[in-house]
Structure 1
Amino acid sequence: MKTSQRLEHALIKLYNAYHNNRLNPEDCTACAVGNILDNQDSWKHLSNEHGSLQLNYIGSVHQNLGRKFNGYTPQEILQIEKVFLDSCGFKTPLCHYNPKPQNPTSNEALFNGLVAVVELLCELDNEPNVLDFSKLFEQENGEPVYHVKTFLA
């Protein structure tokens, strides 16, 4: 499947971060956006509240100037981060009195966050969800429509 360059780069970075234990929703350089933006934290200045969809003055200026960060607009960056935090079990926007998950870096929490982010990234690029495997189970007259090659010996 052919995807946009920004989507492909983001997916590779998120995949590597997940499998190399470098995905952490409580670290702005290691969260979904932090990884997509090359482990930089400058993106956190686009909003006054972490996990909010509301751009602040700086974020609005960048948005209105058409600036993009690794292909993503400031508004898209905030969307990605909110989806990641929400799917990891946080209540957003983050605040010291809002509940947070017991173990935000558990494989389950990170996987849930990652799946939600991948779905959003595909949606932003008008691409089918690369994690949607439902076609593998489609049948016609009781036979599978699509066949998967197996690598069993």
Structure 2
Amino acid sequence: MKNKELYDKTIKILVNAYLNDSLVQGNCHACAVGNIIAANLNIKYDQDLKWINRQVAWSQVFVTLSNKIAQVKRPWAYTGPAREQINATGYAWPELARLEYAFERAPRGKTKEERIFNGLMAVVEVLTQIHEIDEQTKVATRKLFQKA
């Protein structure tokens, strides 16, 4: 297992975002990566799930557009505020790019709720690969995303 503490912290952020309905696909403020960055930088959200007093900069480095299959990557933009936002997570930008792609490209499902859940399960899968998490921990992690 690699960096279990970071894995646990990231899962906790995603569980809280999911249970609080603050995850939105196609919204750089409130997608999986947006929530991870916001939590690590103590950025608050407004009622429209936009960051308060902060511009999204990380999406200048990588972004998955809804009308494109491939992810747009601009490593030369990994500077200034984008670097600060990405570095605050404890992940390298290519790792966050994998998380973002998994979340945005998850199977659609029949409802918005199902699509968000599918996206989260895809993110969990990538996180378990990044952190080399064992199967038992992966199964336990998936159970954390059960809504009452």
Residue in 2 aligned with 1:46?
61
Does residue 70 of the first structure (1) align with residue 89 of the second (2)? yes
Asked which structure has the greater CA Rg, the reply is 1
TM-score by length of 1: 0.63
TM-score with structure 2 setting the length: 0.65
Post-superposition offset of 1:57: 1.4
How far 1:43 sits from its partner (Å)?
A: 1.2
Runs of 4+ in 1 over 3 A off after TM superposition: 48-51
Q: How many residues matched?
A: 116
Higher helix share: 2
- Does the residue aligned with 1:132 lie in a helix, a strand or coil? helix
Distance 2:24 2:103 in 1: 10
Q: Which has the higher contact order (CA 8 A, sep 6+)?
A: 2
RMSD (Å) for aligned C-alpha atoms: 3.1
Instruction: After TM superposition, give the deviation of residue 48 of structure 1 in Å.
Output: 6.4
2:34 & 2:60 partners in 1: Cα distance?
A: 12
Contact 1:84 1:114 in 2 (8 A): yes
Q: Decide which of 127, 133, 136 is 1:121's aligned counterpart.
A: 127
- Return the offset for 1:132: 2.3
Out of 110, 114, 132, the position equivalent to 1:108 is: 114
Could you tell me how far 1:68 is from its partner in structure 2? 3.0
Deviations 1:21-70 (A, max 9, x none): 10001211110000111166221111366471633411399xxxxx7341
Tell me what 2:105 maps to: 86
Question: How far is 1:5 from its partner?
Answer: 2.0
The one-letter code sitting in structure 2 at the alignment partner of 1:47 is: F
Partner of 1:30: 30
Return 5+ residue gaps in structure 1 as ranges. 62-66, 90-100, 134-153
Structure 2 spans left out of the alignment, 5+ residues: 44-50, 81-85, 141-148
Aligned-pair identity in percent equals 28
